[in-house]
Amino acid sequence: MPSTFGRTAAEMTTTPSIAAIAKRSAAADRMRRHRERRRDRFRCVTIDVYDGEIDALARNGFLKTDARNDLRSIEMALYEFLERTLV
């Protein structure tokens, strides 16, 4: 069979590589993670936190005072507070 654009018939009928199949869009990855969280009974919420509440987290030992402006540290302090308070 003649080649088309420099490719033989055998090359055109081969399956795509595993890397091409495994590559997902960012939206597909977000949806997959969302479904995993839902299956694990996690919910994502956004809350506003007052400076006084951040101070209280530090005062009560959930947050180091020098980490008051670090969003990840505040998040972890809130997790710790909620876990101790609600469980």
Query: Has residue 2 been placed in a domain?
Result: no
For the chain, how many structural domains are there in total? 1
Q: Quick check: helix, strand or coil at residue 4?
A: strand
> Is this structure's pTM higher than 0.85?
no
The parent domain of residue 14 ranges over 9-86
Is residue 17 within 8 A of residue 25, CB to CB? The reply is no
Query: Has residue 26 been placed in a domain?
Result: yes
Query: Has residue 80 been placed in a domain?
Result: yes
Each residue's pLDDT tens digit, 5-43: 666 655 555 665 666 556 789 999 999 999 999 999 988
Unique residue bearing structure tokens 């302090």:
77
Beta bridge partners of 7: 4
Query: Has residue 4 been placed in a domain?
Result: no
Query: Has residue 1 been placed in a domain?
Result: no
Query: Has residue 3 been placed in a domain?
Result: no
